[in-house]
Amino acid sequence: MNKNPVGVFDSGIGGLTVVKEIRKILPNENIVYLGDTARLPYGTKSVDAIIKFSLENTQFLISRGAKFIVIACYSSTSVALDIVQKNISVPVIGVIKPGVKRALEITKTGRVGVIGTSLTIYSGAYEKIFREIDDQCQVLGKACPLFVPLVEEGWLDHGATELIARSYLEPLKDDNIDTLLLGCTHFPLLMDVFKEIMDDINYVDASREVGLKLARELKRLGLEHPGKGGNLSIYLTDLSMNFKEIGERFLGEKMKNFSRVSIGGK
């Protein structure tokens, strides 16, 4: 048992979909979230920069008492997970592997689709993890760069969103995938649109799988919070104009407790 908070970081506020799932699965845990909005996007930065930012973010969460670190950022998980794990004494999980494992558990045909931003898909990070676990599976990656701005606009049921989703998903449908992994923190908000286009396949929401993995790990390590009613504190390195409106869309609840904080001189 441990009353300290779980620390979660992302380059922006998309990681709040991971927090949403953690709060559903583990309502008694305290959570400290750090969104490094001043330095986003990470995907276009050098590997060295992403490692430096990831270590700084982790250090901030540990200074806030974090007993466990969740990296809710795809770029950080891709290039910095191992290094963060080696550098700190608390346990760390990333956002990629839990979804991959779940997809491989439920696929029957071994044909799995993955959708994400261009950076996530073209980096090959997903394909590498899939192959490490099962070298027989067929992974069909599809970059969907318009979904993030559509979600940030809040156009979840706009006619354009359905047309765009059809353009992106039809090729995966034609390839007869039986499982689709949503490899981006923003995408769970479009689940209803995806299901209208392909309703006879399995969906894996990476944000939810991270929450489930965290629950298993906290239990295994005896780190669960003993009390009731966990708090959520949100720190952002920059407060953009509409972060609150967008953040609450991801979080599925009001953002009550947020502050601006400086990390790494930004």
Residues binding a second copy: what is the number (CB under 8 A)? 24
Instruction: Tell me which DSSP letter residue 154 carries.
Output: T
92's enclosing H/E stretch is strand 92-93
Q: Is residue 18 at the binding interface for a second copy, with CB under 8 A as the rule?
A: no
Output the CA angle 25-29-31, nearest 5 degrees. 105
Please tell me the distance from the alpha carbon of residue 212 to that of residue 217, in angstroms, as a whole number: 9
Give the Cβ contact number of residue 222 at 10 Å: 8
Distance between CA atoms of residues 64 and 58, nearest Å: 10
Site for a second copy (CB under 8 A): which residue of 24, 28, 44, 63? 44
The active-site residue, picked from 73, 164, 201, 210, is 73
Q: Which of 6, 50, 79, 164 touches a second copy by CB under 8 A?
A: 164
Can residue 222 be called a binding residue for a second copy (CB under 8 A)? no
Q: Closest CB to a second copy among 75 and 161?
A: 161
Contact pick of 88, 106, 140, 146 for a second copy (by CB under 8 A)? 146
Contact between 192 and a second copy per CB under 8 A: no
- 137 classed as catalytic: no
Decide: is 263 part of the binding site for a second copy (CB under 8 A).
no
From the list 145, 154, 171, 227, which residue makes contact with a second copy (rule: CB under 8 A)? 145
Eight-state DSSP code of residue 241: T
Active-site hit among 184, 201, 204, 234: 184
Among 82, 153, 170, 192, binds a second copy (CB under 8 A): 153
Q: Which one, of 188, 24, 26, 195, lies nearest residue 99 by Cα? A: 188
- Of 28, 63, 109, 167, which one interacts with a second copy (CB under 8 A)? 167
Cβ-based neighbours of 80, under 8 Å, separated by 6 or more: 50, 51, 54, 55, 71
* Helices assigned H by DSSP within the chain: 16-25, 47-63, 74-87, 97-106, 118-123, 125-133, 147-153, 159-174, 191-197, 206-220, 243-251
Which among 1-9, 19-27, 39-47, 72-80 is the span making contact with a second copy, rule CB under 8 A? 39-47
What does the binding site for a second copy look like in residue numbers (CB under 8 A)?
Answer: 38, 40, 44, 46, 118, 122, 145-146, 149-150, 152-153, 155, 158-161, 163-164, 167, 238, 240-241, 266
